[in-house]
């Protein structure tokens, strides 16, 4: 495709064009899509309100660009290859024509069940092709999907249903994950006890779990599509109509619904996919993420399918039935581009090179990383053992809010450097600001990572609360989008992401607000107060360290800790369970009552030799006590 960069000088040239004349640059790229009506203006924006619009008044349906557009040339080519959790179960291969029919049919079925343009639909499903079909069927009829990771608790699911007032939930009876069988529909039932907006639940049969189908509300997927037409006329959408909401954690309050819209998201995910991974026709591309996260949205479903690629979808986990599973799948399907997270790399690294031995891995051309900083050791292991020293690593930095990859090597084009996301993609204008808001120009600088010009897939708002969007992203540094990450630009102008500078932690690539975990811990009746910080963890990147003040009466410390973990499990889900809990008698606070997290972070990290200035603390004695107690924490 003509939008593909192939040389370093080509990258520099494209980058310059994208900055000098963004309208022309993005207008030209958007021209290669099918629009019912072209846009009047390429971009309108104001970061102070914030108000960003791309392809103003353009009309389209994203699924026509993903289905109809490919039918003629790629109709019989695989769109999705599905690898089940159990390697003995049959692989499913879905061609573009079959995908078209499945999406149209399910779109008609959803309509028949009362879903209309603009309605919100929650998808709480395992990694099966029907989950992608569900997303696309929503997009087809103009319903707004909100995928919720199927590992979240009933409470988390209910909060999201409530926040977006979803009309429908799409789910399954159960979910296979490694040697576990999870009763998914049960979680939905529990969530729906405390919400009132959902009128219909469509249930896909997957595991054969026994489920209770509520009369008048629940319907089996197979019954919903029975006899339904496989033709559907796509709803014509405005470029700025909502495509989906995806909930993500921030440093305060409840998770917020990041909103992405149709036109810009389509253009940017396609462009970034084609360039970062250098996908060529006939290649098999595999991203190991879950569709419950933005990576799954943009780089399992939308980006690859818009680009006419074959995207592999894996239902299971990296270590089932053994730690060679990823590599077995790469060989079995002759995967050419492989995209995973540092936490998975580190978890597999623990098993050494042995599990890789039976596999040639010679189809691989590009290997990618996403979700958290990749440490040098993991980078080299990935490079040497998986990429066999010949595959470029694309370390892609981006966020739920950015919709697509922002900083990354272009495979085979940008020279890589271990642990560096390297350079911004065309259209991405980065700025490093110090804490006073001054832009740090030149190389060898470190500070807050901001972006000073919109790109097509920037979030438009946080659902139902635009002020929260303004405050979170556009108020720290006037006129800039603030990412929440710290960054270094080295002497070569290369970017290295240093991690979050706010109260967000990244555990195994899952983003979590410390306040969110604290709120969950505080739900335990014996807990008086808590403070949560991240600490370096060999496999997870960051672990969760909780300092808890509680009433111990009648309980052993161990029982109480287990109960606290179970409370968090119930309120958020297993991914948020604290790794370490320390029972304390007080928390270090300033005279104004603010917890000094800086101190708690240092203790959790074991850096207690220099605690900095503690003179402003209301209770300096507690610091010594916490340091002593930390030695015995598990
Ligand atoms: O801190 C950065 C980290 O993940 C955060 C975004 O999390 P989320 O919205 O869940 O999206 C993850 C997948 C795109 C960022 O603010 N992060 C993501 N990718 C990288 C990264 N940190 C360092 N290097 C990366 N490649």
Q: Report whether 196 contacts 149 (CB < 8 A).
A: no
**Higher-pLDDT residue of 634, 183:** 183
Report pLDDT digits (tens) over 404-437.
999 999 999 999 999 999 999 999 999 999 999 9
Mean pLDDT of 50-76: 97
C-alpha distances out from residue 42 to 12, 97, 268, 455, Å: 22, 32, 13, 11
Angstrom distance (rounded) from CA 131 to CA 300: 11
Report pLDDT digits (tens) over 341-375.
999 999 999 999 999 999 999 999 999 999 999 99
Beta strand 59-60 pairing with 92-95: unpaired
448: pLDDT strictly greater than 90: yes
206: pLDDT strictly greater than 90: yes
Pocket test for ligand 1, best of 255, 450, 497 (most atoms within 8 A of CB): 497
For position 365, what pLDDT does the model report? 98
Whether 324 lines ligand 1, by a CB cut-off of 6 Å, is no
Mean pLDDT of 540-551: 96
Task: Please determine, for the modelled complex, whether the ipTM score is greater than 0.95.
Answer: yes
What's the 398 CA to ligand 1 centre distance in angstroms? 5
**Nearest atom within ligand 1 for CA of residue 511:** 10
pTM, 2 dp = 0.96
Degrees to nearest 5, angle at CA 589 with 583 and 591: 155
What's the 463 CA to ligand 1 centre distance in angstroms? 21
Mean pLDDT of 88-116: 98
User: Average pLDDT of the chain?
Assistant: 96
What's the 499 CA to ligand 1 centre distance in angstroms? 8
Whether 502 lines ligand 1, by a CB cut-off of 6 Å, is no
Whether 448 lines ligand 1, by a CB cut-off of 6 Å, is no
Rg (CA), the chain: 24
614: pLDDT strictly greater than 90: no
What's the 288 CA to ligand 1 centre distance in angstroms? 15
Give CA 344 to chain center in angstroms.
15
Angstrom distance (rounded) from CA 162 to CA 526: 28
**Nearest atom within ligand 1 for CA of residue 401:** 9
634: pLDDT strictly greater than 80: no
617: pLDDT strictly greater than 90: no
Range list of β-strands (E), 335-428: 337-340, 366-370, 393-396
Report pLDDT digits (tens) over 221-261.
999 999 999 999 999 999 999 999 999 998 877 899 999 99
In this structure, which residue's CA is closest to atom 15 in ligand 1?
399
For position 316, what pLDDT does the model report? 98
C-alpha distances out from residue 373 to 69, 276, 309, 315, 417, Å: 37, 18, 27, 25, 13
Phi, psi angles (nearest 5°) of residue 585: -95, -15
């Amino acid at each position: 495709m003509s939008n593909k960069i192939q040389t370093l000088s080509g990258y520099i040239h494209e980058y310059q064009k994208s900055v000098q004349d963004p309208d022309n640059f993005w207008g030209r790229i958007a021209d290669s899509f099918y629009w019912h009506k072209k846009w009047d203006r390429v971009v309108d924006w104001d970061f102070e309100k914030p108000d960003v619009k791309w392809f103003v008044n353009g009309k389209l349906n994203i699924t026509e660009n993903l289905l109809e557009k490919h039918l003629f040339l790629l109709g019989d080519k695989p769109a999705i290859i599905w690898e089940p959790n159990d390697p003995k179960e049959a692989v499913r291969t879905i061609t573009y024509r079959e995908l078209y029919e499945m999406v149209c049919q399910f779109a008609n079925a959803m309509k028949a069940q009362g879903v209309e343009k603009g309605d919100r639909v929650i998808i709480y499903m395992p990694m099966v092709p029907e989950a992608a079909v569900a997303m696309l069927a929503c997009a087809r009829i103009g319903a707004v999907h909100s995928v919720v990771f199927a590992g979240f608790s009933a409470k988390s699911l209910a909060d999201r249903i409530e926040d977006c007032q979803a009309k429908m939930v799409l789910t399954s009876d159960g979910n296979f994950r490694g040697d576990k069988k999870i009763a998914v529909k049960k979680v939905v039932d529990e969530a729906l006890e405390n919400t009132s907006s959902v009128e219909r639940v469509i249930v896909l049969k997957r595991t054969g779990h026994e489920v209770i189908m509520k009369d008048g509300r629940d319907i089996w997927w197979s019954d919903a599509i029975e006899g339904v037409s496989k033709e559907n006329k796509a709803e014509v959408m405005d470029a700025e109509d909502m495509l989906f909401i995806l909930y993500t954690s921030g440093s305060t309050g409840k998770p917020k619904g990041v909103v992405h819209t149709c036109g810009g998201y389509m253009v940017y995910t396609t462009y970034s996919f084609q360039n970062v991974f250098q996908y060529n026709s006939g290649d098999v591309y595999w991203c190991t993420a879950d569709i419950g996260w933005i990576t799954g949205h943009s780089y399992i479903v939308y980006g690859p399918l818009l680009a006419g690629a074959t995207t592999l979808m894996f239902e299971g986990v990296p270590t089932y039935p053994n730690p060679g599973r990823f590599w077995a799948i790469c060989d079995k399907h002759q995967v050419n581009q492989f995209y995973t997270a540092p936490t998975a790399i580190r978890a597999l690294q623990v098993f050494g090179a042995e599990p890789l031995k039976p596999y040639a891995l010679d189809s691989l051309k590009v290997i990618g990383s996403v979700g958290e900083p990749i440490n040098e050791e993991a980078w080299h292991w990935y490079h040497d053992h998986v990429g066999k020293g010949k595959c470029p690593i694309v370390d892609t930095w981006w966020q739920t809010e950015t919709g697509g990859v922002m900083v990354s090597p272009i495979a085979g084009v940008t020279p890589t450097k271990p642990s560096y996301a390297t350079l911004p993609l065309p259209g991405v204008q980065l700025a490093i600001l110090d804490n006073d808001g001054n832009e740090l120009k030149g190389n060898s600088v470190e500070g807050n990572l901001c972006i000073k010009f919109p790109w097509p897939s920037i979030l438009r708002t946080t659902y139902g609360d635009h002020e929260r969007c303004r405050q979170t992203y556009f108020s720290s540094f006037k006129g800039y989008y603030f990412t929440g990450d710290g960054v270094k630009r080295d002497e070569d102008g290369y970017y290295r992401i240093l991690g979050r500078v706010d109260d967000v932690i990244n555990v195994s690539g899952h983003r979590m607000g410390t306040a969110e975990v604290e709120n969950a811990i505080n739900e335990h009746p014996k807990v008086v107060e808590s403070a949560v910080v991240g600490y370096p963890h060999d496999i997870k990147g960051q672990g969760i360290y909780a300092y808890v003040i509680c009433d111990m009466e009648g309980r052993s410390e161990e029982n109480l800790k287990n109960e606290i973990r179970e409370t968090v499990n119930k309120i958020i889900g297993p991914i948020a369970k604290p790794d370490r809990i320390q029972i304390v008698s007080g928390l270090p606070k300033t005279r104004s009552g603010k917890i000094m997290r800086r101190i708690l972070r240092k203790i959790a990290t074991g850096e207690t030799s220099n605690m900095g200035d503690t003179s402003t603390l209301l209770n300096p004695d507690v610091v010594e006590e916490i340091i002593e107690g930390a030695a015995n924490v598990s």
